[in-house]
Structures are given as structure tokens and as C-alpha cells.
Chains A and B, each alone.
Chain A
């Protein structure tokens, strides 16, 4: 239990850095001095003046006193260390920025265990990448080799074994990788929380044997606080990144919404309304009105396989391709063939689009269309019969050189054309029952007198009601065209 010179110096430093314990220090000094002078006094007694038995009893009492003093010192030391670490932990508790946390750690580290150079490294969850680091006392030219230490050297060992490493003489440890020529001894402590390594603390000293096992223990306690602070900062960063992603997605959503028609075009004989509801922030469904001539209106409904961002990209390409081709060619079959070939050249065959494209002559009521693998629009005749517009050709984007055939129907007074995506017809409730085309027809007919806008409102309300608490699982697009 005899304290060494370095430990004694460390203790004095600890008292100084903790800002407490001056009274204790004085008492210790007083007690130590008294004890030493008593030991000296005892030794200087001329032989024979005190009986031998009495002399041994006194020596034994003094030795016991010396041990007690060491014990008290030990207790005091632990108390001060805990106090210091609590102070550090408190200062770390308020920091959320990872670099700020690292900077606080490296500076407070010096109060806990002294160093000539120190590095703190934060590794990614898979341990493959360095997410953050802070260095003190290294030359710029040393920095390349520091990373090497992290993978293979003592740091790599400490993180892999989740145990501290004390090296009294680095020249005798084969695991040591040199980054500073003046380093003589090293202490490495891994940081982990909830059984997962977060990173490590690396301390280097220019003196041989600068670090004790006790320093390692002490630093392990410190490292556990540091790990929690780092983990919290990392979580905070993840939240910030997620927020940024959400903002970008919200921007993408606004941009995508801007690609949809702002309002439906108006014609004497036709009332038109449309809606697009992505199930995620952005979606793969779309609809479009393309005013080709004063009387001719191109109408598109499309559905990209899949959802979310990947589908949104394809949707944007489809819209652009279709608009360009619609203005360049008259024949719908040609337009769809060209769009198909364009999409085939831009995407893998797994990614495809189903689309319906038709041109409505708003004077004659003739709709010329081709259906490229899309859910067939419902033409609900005034006499209560139903036609489905399925003729056309292959879905788009999977098979090059596909041929499309166009067909014609004439819309007469009180006929209603309903274009939709499977997000509407196949919307499921908890029991797995689909909303169904029959129900769409029923609702459209029952709301027919209220016009397309109200028809769509009613459809959406009932589809949402059908899905209930499980919500919409797919993007929904609806376009309703009513002939007056």
C-alpha cells in the first residue's frame, strides 16, 4: 500500500484540479510530518533507554498509523476522482455537437490523467469508419499514421477486446505503431456503451512508465461517461440529418405537386376534376392534362411500379417524355411507342410504368386512346351500362419495340369517364378486402349529379373510411370527366 512518488504527485494534482481538498491536504501534510518525526525520534533513542518490548509496541503502533494514513488517502483520492468525473460528466451533459463533445473530453481528460499527446476517436456502428476525431500534441505529419494505429495498433486491440491497454515502454510492445517519435509510454482505453464500442481514448507520454493500472481504471470510468456523451451527440446528429432529409423530401413533394395540374381545364361540354394523393412524401402516380389544341385535350394517368423517391424519379421522366412526344406526334400509338423505348433505355426492366393516354375532342366528344397496361378506365354510360377502356398495348418501360393500338369511343351527354390507379381500386381494409371497381362505379353514379369535384371528394372520403386505421397503402390518382 505504499504510495509511489508519481502517485503522490498525481494525488496533489488531483486535489489541485478538483478545486477542493485544501483542508485535507494540510491535514495530510501535518499528519505525515508528525508521523515521520515520531519515526525518527523512535530510531534516535539511545539503546537500552527504553525496554525492547516497549520499543516494538511503539514501532507497531506507528506502522499502523502510517497504514491508516494511506487508507484515508486512498478514500480521499477516490472521493476526489468521483467528484472530478461528475463535474466533467455534467459539463458533457449539455453538449450536443459531436466536435464540441470531443473537445470537452480531450480537455477534461488532461485533468484526469496527464498526457503529452492524446487522441479521441469515434468509430461508426459497424466499426469501419471514423466518424469523429480530436487530436492534441501530434505534429501534422504524424496524422496519417494515427489512423493506422486505430485499425491495427494498440487502439485496434483495445476496441476489439473492450479492455484498456497500459504500455510502460512502447518499444517493447509489438502491437505499437509509432506516430510520435518522442512517445515512450501509452495508455489506451476503449469507450463503449450498451455493449457496443463507440471509439477509444489514446494517451501518450514522453516518459517511460507514465501510466499505472490505476490510471487505466480511472480512465475507464471517465470513458463510460464520454461514451454516453458521444452517443447522445451522435443521436442528435442523426436527428438533425433526418430533419434535413425530411426538409428535402418536403421540397421534392412541393416540386412534384407543381408538376401536377393546378386546375382542370374548362370546356363547354365537359366537366373535369383530378386528384393525386401520394401515400408517402413523394409518389409514383401522376395525371396530366395536355392542351394540344383549343379543342383537343390530352389526358394521362400513370402509375410507376413501386412507391416513394425511386418511383417519383421515373414519374418525372415519364411526364417529360410524354409531353414532348404528345406535342411532336399526332398518333397516340407512335407517342406511346416512343415513350416506351425512351423508358426502356433509362430504366432496368424491373421498373415499369402503366399508363393510359387519350386525346379528347371536347367538341365531338370523341376520345382516342391507348392503354399501356393500366387499370382500364371506366366509361359509365348514362344508360347505366359500363365500358372498360383496356385496348392499347404492353406496359411501358420493360420491353423495347412494343406496339400500341389506338381505339376510339364517343362520350355522350351524362356519360362519366373515371380514370384511376390501383391505389384506389385495391385499397385494402384490415381484413384485406379491396375497395373494388364495383364500389367506385356505385359511388360515382350516386354522386353523378354533383359533378366531378364532388364525385372525387366522395370517393376519397369512402376509400379512406374503407382503409380505416391502417391508412392508404399506395398512391391514389383519380380523374373524373363528365359529359354535360
Chain B
């Protein structure tokens, strides 16, 4: 898993790439989110377009990210959710929890 963050329209856009699995990925992800929250960011967009593969522990990472952001009074939108992740969201009913958009731009617009 690779993470790249940038600030756009006062929102932190986190590009997630590669295979998202449990173990060290979970710690890296959590630490990144926590430090961005500590930097004062509240609005997040996870760009999942570059995710090749995600297992159940990877889903756990997204859930953990959402919970951390919500607990800090922030909000999270997802963008470029791949078909594979969409089907995982459907099965697990996470589709009702995550706010997903086709593109990063649409996700950013939803914050306006």
C-alpha cells in the first residue's frame, strides 16, 4: 500500500494505491490520519482509484479511518471506488456508511 496526500480546496485528499491489507498497512494508515487530524484537517477524501486489491483487513482499515475522522468531528468521502471494492461494500452493507463519489472533484464539490 502507498499513501500520498495533498491539500485541495481546504480538504485533505489521500491517494491510496496498491494492495490494502492488514498488518503494517493498518498502522501506517491510522498514523497518517491521526497526524493530519492533529494538523487541524477535518475534511478528508480517500481516492481509491489506485487500489489493486483489498481484503477484509483492508476494509477494516477504511472503517478505522472513518471512525477516527468522525470521532474528531471531521468527515470522509470516498472517490474512484473500484468495482471490486464496490461489491465488498454491497455485501458488507458498508455502502450505507461510506459516502462515495465517482471522482475526487465530485467528492470535493460535495463539501462546498
Contact = CB atoms under 8 A, between A and B. Distances in A.
Interface residues of A, number: 22
B56 A422 contact: yes
Interface string B43-79: 0000000000000110111011011000000000000
Interface string A355-386: 00000000000000000111110000000000
Nearest to A395: B92
Interface stretch (B6-14, B93-101, B102-110): B93-101
A373 B67 contact: no
A228 interface: no
B58 to A, nearest CB: 9
Contacts of A395: 92-94
Interface string A301-338: 00101100000000000000000000000000000000
Interface in B22-37: 22, 26
Contacts of A351: 60
A372 B92 CA distance: 7
A92 to B, nearest CB: 40
A350 interface: yes
Interface in A389-433: 390, 392-395, 398-399, 422
Interface of B: 22, 26, 56-57, 59-61, 63-64, 66-67, 91-94, 96-97
Given A306-B22, A352-B63, A398-B63, A373 B57 contact: no
B93 A393 contact: yes
20 contacts: A305-B57, A305-B59, A306-B60, A348-B64, A349-B63, A350-B57, A352-B56, A354-B56, A354-B91, A354-B92, A372-B93, A373-B91, A374-B91, A375-B91, A394-B94, A394-B97, A395-B92, A395-B94, A398-B60, A398-B67
Interface of A: 303, 305-306, 348-352, 354, 372-376, 390, 392-395, 398-399, 422
Contacts of B92: 354, 373, 394-395
A303 B88 CA distance: 14
A19 B112 CA distance: 92
B34 to A, nearest CB: 13
A123 B67 CA distance: 42
Interface centre among B60, B67, B94, B97 (most CB of A within 10 A): B60
Contacts of B96: 394
B30 to A, nearest CB: 8
Contacts, number: 54
Contacts of A422: 56
A349 B64 contact: yes
A24 B106 CA distance: 95
Given A306-B56, A306-B57, A350 B64 contact: yes
Given A303-B56, A305-B57, A376 B64 contact: no
B14 to A, nearest CB: 17
B45 to A, nearest CB: 20
A352 B60 contact: yes
Interface centre among A306, A375, A422 (most CB of B within 10 A): A306
Contacts of B93: 372-373, 392-395
Nearest to B21: A306
A348 B29 CA distance: 15
A176 B60 CA distance: 54
Contacts of A373: 91-94
Contacts of A374: 91
B60 A305 contact: yes
A401 to B, nearest CB: 12
A350 B61 contact: yes
Given A350-B63, A354-B92, A390-B91, 7 more contacts: A303-B56, A306-B22, A349-B63, A372-B93, A395-B93, A395-B94, A398-B67
A5 B96 CA distance: 90
Contacts of A390: 91
Contacts of B59: 305, 352
B47 to A, nearest CB: 20
Contact of A399 (B22, B91, B97): B97
A425 to B, nearest CB: 10
A349 B60 CA distance: 7
A395 B92 CA distance: 5
A40 to B, nearest CB: 81
A372 B94 CA distance: 10
A350 B61 CA distance: 6
Contact of A350 (B26, B91, B94): B26
A255 B64 CA distance: 31
A375 B87 CA distance: 10
Q: Kindly list the 7 A-B residue pairs having the minimum CB-CB distance in the complex, ordered from nearest.
A: A373-B92, A350-B64, A305-B56, A350-B60, A349-B67, A395-B92, A394-B93
